[in-house]
Amino acid sequence: MYWTYLRRELAGRKKQTIIVAAGLAIAIALVIVVNALSTGVRDAQAEALESVYGVGTDLTVTGAQVEPGEGGAGGPRFEFDEDGGTTSDDGTTSLSQSRLLADFLRGDLDASTVDTVAGVEGVAAASGALALTNTTFSGELPQPPADGGADGNGGDITQQPPQEGQGGFAGGAFDVDAFSVLGIDPSNTEVGPLSAAEVVDGRALGAGDEGQNVAVLDEAYATSNDLSVGGTIDVGGTTVEIVGIIASTSSSADTAANVYLPLDVAQSISGVGDVVSTVYVQASSADDIPAVQSAIAQELPEATVSSQSELASTVSGSLSSATSLITNVGTWLSILVLAVAVVLAVLFTISGVSRRTREFGTLKAIGWSNGRVVRQVAGESVVQGIVGGAAGLVIGLAGIWAINLISPTVSSAPAAEQNGPGGVPGFMRDLTTISTDIVLSAPVTIWVVVAAVGLAVAGGLIAGAFGGWRAARLSPAEALRSVG
């Protein structure tokens, strides 16, 4: 009897059922898509950090930022060797030289810092690395004017740096090529960037490579530059043998650098001395991370100690924009649409009860109790909510499928490196930025599906509660008299 009456009442008011179910469906679909995208962006952030900092890297220790002009940080300098070029009969000098440069806006750490960090209670492993940029200038420099250095317009050719990509020294044309280099401890790769990489050809760096001019290359970089195992690459003017090709364990992200060298070799070629730029730290337990971070900060007050959560908050680029958009706009829009859908369901239910005054008056007159009337109205509303929830689930899953089919790509880069103090001028701004392209996906989780159905049922219950309350207040005699 109950279900028969329920089915007839819903079929008799198809317009109201469709409107209420459609409103809830749109709201539920939006909630599903926004939550899936939020999860996808969160996974993308973790993926970006994993490719740059490595699996199991809980903390990083870096030197403090250096203001331009402070401590000699006046900008990158590139000095050509006197015998580094060849001069033709017309006086034009052809040059092709490489330099391995450190980030001039980031202070270095003494190599002994690694041992200091490793000795902190709660630290399971620590490994040092030196981030560098190899820059190669190649091109032609015309014969200097007879007046000894003037370019004909009163300028000094030695004070005009080549521009990014192609530039010139008073009429000379130069190409600028650059790639990122990371010096790592080959005997300790369990923590740090290489812990998130796998060998696809050749071999990885090992303890026996200390002091050897050998390197492993990122697969994407090696492919784009037609480099392979057994070949060589010029790093800072030194010929280095390629012994391995590696790739990120994530199929949609590159590794942290283009070229990896033994740490002592990177220090020697760059001439920076016995220093590192970053210490990667693995805590004994996730619960120990805050305490370990505090202890390291006390031991090294001049250094910057960052946790993975703090590093995630600094990820910039379109990944950051996507995170901000979904978090701020998407979440509030979902809440607003869901609230509107519930209010719409409540209003339609109350309106329907008002139009059924005679019906409910008659039912009460023949013996229906208030509880039975409330259950009838609530049941109708819950069914409408379930229909809306099912439709919203289908729409939401279709939206997620479309996003995964399109597979949008977002980029990420450490904001501190991208937007250092005072900015990084010229081509060095791009060379010091570690950028990673990541495919954004929208995974489906069971709890989102359950929550969506729960929200739909809850919306139906709320609407049924208001409608049932309105129906229960009707007096049989007054109801019959009002329509008599």
Measured between alpha carbons, how far is 458 from 102 in angstroms, rounded to an integer?
A: 59
Residue ranges making up the domain that contains 186: 64-302
pLDDT band with cut points at 50, 70 and 90 for residue 423: very low
Measured between alpha carbons, how far is 417 from 103 in angstroms, rounded to an integer?
A: 9
Q: Does residue 160 share a domain with residue 245?
A: yes
Neighbours of 230 (CB within 10 A): 10
Residue the block writes with tokens 């790769």:
189
**Overall average pLDDT of the 365-388 stretch:** 82
Q: What phi and psi values does residue 231 have, to the nearest 5 degrees?
A: -85, -170
Q: Does residue 446 share a domain with residue 373?
A: yes
For residue 43, is it within any domain?
Answer: yes
Residue the block writes with tokens 């109801």:
479
Q: Which residues of 444-472 are buried (b: 16+ CB within 10 A; e: fewer)?
A: eeeebeebbbebbbbbbebbbbbbbebbb
Residue the block writes with tokens 């479309």:
402
Q: Is 0.85 surpassed by the pTM of this model?
A: no
Residue the block writes with tokens 């992200």:
253
What are the tens digits of pLDDT across the range 133-151? Answer: 998 877 766 665 555 444 4
Q: Does residue 148 share a domain with residue 275?
A: yes
Residue the block writes with tokens 């329907």:
352
What are the tens digits of pLDDT across the range 174-203? Answer: 677 889 999 999 988 888 888 878 899 999
Domain boundary among 245, 268, 302: 302
Measured between alpha carbons, how far is 200 from 198 in angstroms, rounded to an integer?
A: 6
Residue 166 confidence (pLDDT) above 50: no
Neighbours of 7 (CB within 10 A): 12
Check residues 417 and 399 and name the one with the higher pLDDT.
Answer: 399
Q: Does residue 261 share a domain with residue 112?
A: yes
Domain boundary among 274, 302, 330: 302
Q: Does residue 215 share a domain with residue 81?
A: yes
Q: Which amino acid is at 314?
A: T
Question: What is the count of structural domains for the chain?
Answer: 2
**Overall average pLDDT of the 277-289 stretch:** 87
Spacing of C-alpha 240 from chain mean position: 33
What are the tens digits of pLDDT across the range 440-467? Answer: 777 877 887 788 778 888 888 888 888 8
